[in-house]
A and B are shown apart, each in its own frame.
Chain A
Amino acid sequence: MSKSKTPQLFAAQVPIFPRRISGFYRNLKWWIMAVTLGIYYLTPWIRWDRGPALPDQAVLVDLAHRRFYFFWIEIWPHEFYFVAGLLIMAGLGLFLFTSALGRVWCGYACPQTVWTDLFILVERWIEGDRNARVRLWKGKWNIRKWRLRLVKWNVWLLISLATGGAWVFYFTDAPQLARDLFAFTAHPIAYGTIAVLTATTFLFGGFMREQVCIYMCPWPRIQGAMMDDDTLTVAYRDWRGEPRGKKRDATRGDCIDCMACVNVCPMGIDIREGQQMECITCALCIDACDEIMDKIDRPRGLIDYLALADEPEERAGKPPKPLWRHVLRLRTIIYTSLWSLIGIALIYALFIQSDIDMTVEPSRNPTFVTLSDGTVRNVYTLRLRNKLGESRQFQVSLTSMQNLQIQIEGAGGDTVTVAPDSSTMLRVYVTADSVNLAANLDQTDLRFWVEDVENGDRASRSSVFNGKGEK
């Protein structure tokens, strides 16, 4: 026990200067970056013809008109369960991947990782690789340093602007909004959103980086619950590497303590200390170490994707379990089945989704009215939805065991016109004269039908007719 200084409860951010590396995982990550960024920036510009009355943007979240368009799918607010289902699938997908491969999401696909990677790439182009950057950081603020920093910040800012800019295109017609944005006539909300997203991208990608993952993001804390001993994560085979040392002789392990794995790590940690909270499993240290192993002519995989469960076997010099045995286990099978079940249900729902839709709401206050001649009347509110881009004639009818009459308030006959891509509410009367059985029974089943007069598309809903209940 030593008498010492006052403990420091807060610490400054330690700058990290990841070194450039190439290798299998680095290439994989470049590809994933290109694909994900490509999808993000380009999707709003894809066109999809839906007829004159509807927008021709393939992916559009039309908040003002409460519609979500995704290629051939159009989702109305009452079908929000599609979105909920997709979100649940996304969640289960993350669970599945995390239980099989640890923090793959963090290492490869999370926007925080992808954009940070992009920002580091820019940083490297402008300021040079690790050693040059360390020197620059330590150096005085002279003209050269200012120049490099300003160029770097400006490029970052441009990327951030493009990032924030792309986001708003998902919510309204992209070409039109682009014109408006440049003409300074777009809605202030568009500029505000772009400003906020530009600022966060710039800050998170340029300066906060690993701090976001370590201190701000809730996901790593949740991920721990999905991992177990069979989960494949990035780890160091210390039984092979230790004792480490620069000198190569028979008493030493394979690790030559070159610090390559530490220097490439975007989180600034040493994987040889074991699994750590900070590690996002980006696998760059695997590439770095493999490169060294090739040079000193030792087998690759001193740092590798490993399952903790294999450690005892490997230590004892026995071969590890095959990969598929780690991946295929109860937990991943359950996640996969749940994921596919919801997927199948959604696809099924998508197939039975029709362009004509109806909901029926029987009036319960009062349940029935007696007219002056003793006729019993029920009132229903019908909502008819026309999902096509042209106006259509819908005929409303009903079927029942009893002889019930139907009449639509305000309409001459049984046919109504519904405007394109909209819904209409009808007040519908169903009557049974005083001698009708339905007038005197408690309840009679009935079914409303709506049919497109032209093409015969139909939909139906069942409901009940309330009588006086005297028989």
Chain B
Amino acid sequence: MSDFETETEIDDETGVETTGHDWDGIKELNNPLPRWWLWSFYISIVWGIGYVIAYPAWPMITGATQGMLGYSTRGEVASEIARFEDQNSALTSALSAVDLNTLGENAELNHFAVAGGAAVFRSHCSQCHGSGANGSKGYPNLLDDDWLWGGTIDQIAYSIKHGVRNEVDEDAHYSEMPAFGDMLEASEINQVVHHVRSITGLENDADLASLGQPLFMDNCSSCHGDNGKGDREIGAPNLTDAIWLYGGDVESLTQTISTSRFGVMPAWGMRLKVSEINAVAAYVHQLGGGE
């Protein structure tokens, strides 16, 4: 193989020829590898060269060589996605056209909608409502049975499509509570707070609460109702249940009444397909609170 002339000898101990390499008396035995092994090595080099020409390989400054076959992993993923979308196209178009109230009767479509809706939820909704859909202060919990704008599957789909208090969709849910800090004295607000806590069954000062009652009637009942049960038509929360979007403690309630709240939700109808909206609606509806 190589052209060097060396002194080879037969090693006494093993009876094997040495290569002639000698490092301070340590000699290398020559146990030749089989020739086919060398050939498979050469073949793998040729294969490697072919591979480098055919497939993306060498890193360059702004990218890598593209390869003659035009293969890319991104392309692979895109075609996989296209294949699945194609496979599901019948279900997807059925989902766009379905009457949501009857979705539950079609087990296959319902399953498709819930699974797809979970994916859409994770990418578009979880930022505010949380990956477990349990919301947080100011962002409604979608797992419970309390709904500001209605919890039937149609109402949920409407809320998703048009959103809440956004400026882009004319059909968005809209309501606005006045900031009573400008209209009532701080002491009066405190009385209203205690009244609200009394109708929910939370700990309160009975004297303050009874002073708050007429104030509530004058200022709040037009939206929240005389009994504080709210009104879904106008998105007025039920003040008598155990659920608080911004907290039911004295401090939070004082702030809510003084400065008001103005939660906004985007109109997803402008960004998602009808089938996707229906899917998210089906997903949210089956989380446990659907009506």
Binding site for B on A (CB under 8 A): 1-13, 208, 211, 215, 363, 365-366, 369-374, 377, 379, 409-410, 427, 429, 434
Task: Please tell me if the beta carbons of B134 and A369 are within 8 angstroms of each other in the complex.
Answer: yes
Partner-contacting stretch, out of B1-9, B173-181, B250-258? B1-9
What's the Cα separation between A8 and B17 when bound, in Å?
Answer: 10
**21 pairs, A vs B, C-beta closer than 8 Å:** A2-B9, A3-B7, A7-B8, A8-B1, A8-B30, A9-B1, A9-B33, A10-B33, A10-B37, A11-B33, A13-B36, A215-B34, A215-B37, A365-B132, A365-B134, A369-B143, A370-B144, A371-B146, A372-B241, A372-B243, A427-B286
Contact A371 B34 (CB under 8 A): no
Which of A7, A208, A369 makes the CB contact (< 8 A) with B288?
A369
| Chain B: minimal CB distance from A435 (Å) | 12
Bound: A372/B288 CA distance, A:
13
Out of A7, A12, A369, A427, name the residue touching B35 (CB < 8 Å): A12
Contact B35 A13 (CB under 8 A): yes
Q: Assess the A1–B7 pair: CB atoms within 8 A.
A: yes
Confirm or deny: B141 has a beta carbon within 8 angstroms of a beta carbon on chain A.
yes
Main secondary structure of the interface of B (DSSP, over half): loop
* A-chain residues with CB within 8 Å of residue B4 when the two chains form the complex: 6
CB distance from B228 to the nearest CB of A (A): 13
* Contact across chains for A10 and B38 when beta carbons are under 8 A apart: yes
Q: Are B143 and A9 in contact (CB under 8 A)?
A: no
Question: B142's closest neighbor in chain A, by CB?
Answer: A369
Q: Which residues of B contact A370 (CB under 8 A)?
A: 144, 242-243
A9-B33, A369-B143 known; A4 and B242 CB under 8 Å?
Answer: no
- Inter-chain CA distance A8–B34, complex, in Å, is 11
> Nearest Cβ distance between residue B197 and chain A, in whole angstroms?
15
Residues of B in contact, count (CB < 8 Å): 38
Which 8 interchain pairs have the tightest Cβ spacing?
A365-B132, A372-B241, A11-B32, A366-B134, A374-B242, A369-B143, A372-B146, A10-B35
With A9-B33, A363-B132, A374-B242 as given contacts, are A369 and B141 in contact (CB-CB < 8 Å)? yes
Q: Is the interface of A mostly helix, strand, loop or mixed?
A: loop
Which residue on B lies nearest to A370, using beta carbons? B242
Report the bound CA distance from A429 to B288 in whole Å: 8
Mark each residue of chain B from 88 to 116: 1 if its CB lies under 8 Å from any CB of chain A, else 0.
Answer: 00000000000000001000001000000
- Pair B242/A11 contact, Cβ less than 8 Å: no
Say whether B288 contacts A9, CB under 8 Å: no
CA distance A81 to B198 in the complex (A): 59
Among A5, A215, A372, A427, contact of B145 (Cβ-Cβ < 8 Å): A372
A130 to B32, CA, bound (A): 26
Q: Quick one: CB contact mask for B1-27 with A, threshold 8 Å, 1 for yes?
A: 111111111000000011110000000
For the A-B complex with A7-B30, A12-B34 known, give 13 more contacts whose Cβ atoms are closer than 8 Å.
A4-B7, A6-B5, A6-B6, A11-B32, A11-B33, A11-B35, A12-B35, A13-B35, A363-B132, A371-B146, A371-B242, A374-B242, A377-B288
Q: What is the CA–CA distance of A429 and B238 in the complex, to the nearest angstrom?
A: 24
Q: Hey, which chain B residues are within 8 Å of A365, CB to CB?
A: 130-132, 134
With A4-B7, A374-B242, A410-B104: A9-B30 Cβ-Cβ less than 8 Å: yes
Cα of A369 to Cα of B141 in the assembled complex, Å: 9
Contact between B1 and A10, CB atoms less than 8 A apart: yes
Q: For residues 120 through 173 of chain B, which have their beta carbon under 8 Å from a beta carbon of chain A?
A: 130-132, 134, 141, 143-146
Q: How far is the CA of A429 from the CA of B104 in the complex (A)?
A: 18
Contact of B144 with A371 in the complex, beta carbons under 8 Å:
yes
A391 to chain B, nearest CB (A): 14
CB distance from A209 to the nearest CB of B (A): 12
Separation of A139 and B1 alpha carbons in the complex (Å) = 29
Q: Determine if A366 and B36 form an interchain contact, defined as CB atoms under 8 angstroms apart.
A: no
- Tell me the complex Cα distance, A178–B61, Å: 53
